[in-house]
Amino acid sequence: MRTQNKLNRVNNPRKWIWMLIEFIVIEKVLENGILVPVILKLPYGNLTSNILYKGIEVFLVLALNAWLIKQKLYFSTNVSLKTTLFFLFGVGYISLFISSGPMKLLLPIILWTLLTAISEELLFRGVILGDLFKRLTHRHLTKRSVAIAIGLSSLLFSLQHLSNLVNQSLLDTVCQMIETFGMGILLAAVYVRTGSLITTIFTLNCQIKCNTKNLFLEVV
């Protein structure tokens, strides 16, 4: 019976699309309607609040996925010369952006950027892209179906930044959305190519580290 229900969900596009929309809506309502207001009321600084916020968001995504989507998350990665060089290059790149600022803030900022990358990759690549990829390619794995899955997940990744209109201009928000759409395509391609969230988390973490020096200045 469970197998039959699972097949029905796969063969009924309207049903699984609505399940995915339900997942996204519930996640965003809980995040922006409950989690953010509660975090803002706590007597913590910006950095501590962001760490707590992103940590809870990670557990929220995992819990909702286990409840609604049940999408398998892939973390294993093959150890090869290419992946070794990739991670070594990333570590060297990150070190360029953490060479200045108070040392007491180094570990908290690393934790914050890591949790940010984990939460976003679990949601947009792990759950959303993973589910779209599975549903759109369950019959035939074609370039078109893969491109649609990557495009839709990247679009959703971009649209989430509309909430930044509260804190910045329309032009800045549009530019950020274009940037994140391109970044979403890159991360989705990395996930499809490597089959591991570890590589996408590491890639996004490297990108977030570009703002580390500005964050140092904001916190001090």
Q: Which helix (H) or strand (E) holds 71?
A: none
How high is the pLDDT of residue 3? 43
Who's near 22: CB < 8 A, 6+ residues apart? 68
Q: Provide the pLDDT confidence category of residue 100 given band limits of 50, 70 and 90.
A: low
With 0.75 as the threshold, say if the pTM is over it: yes
User: How does pLDDT run across 29-40, given as a tens digit for each residue?
Assistant: 999 889 989 998
- As a whole number, mean pLDDT of residues 156-166 equals 87
Q: How far apart are CA 115 and CA 102, in angstroms?
A: 20
Say if residue 99's pLDDT is above 60.
Answer: no
How high is the pLDDT of residue 72? 92
How high is the pLDDT of residue 77? 76
How high is the pLDDT of residue 58? 95
User: How does pLDDT run across 8-19, given as a tens digit for each residue?
Assistant: 455 566 677 788
- Number of residues assigned to the chain: 220
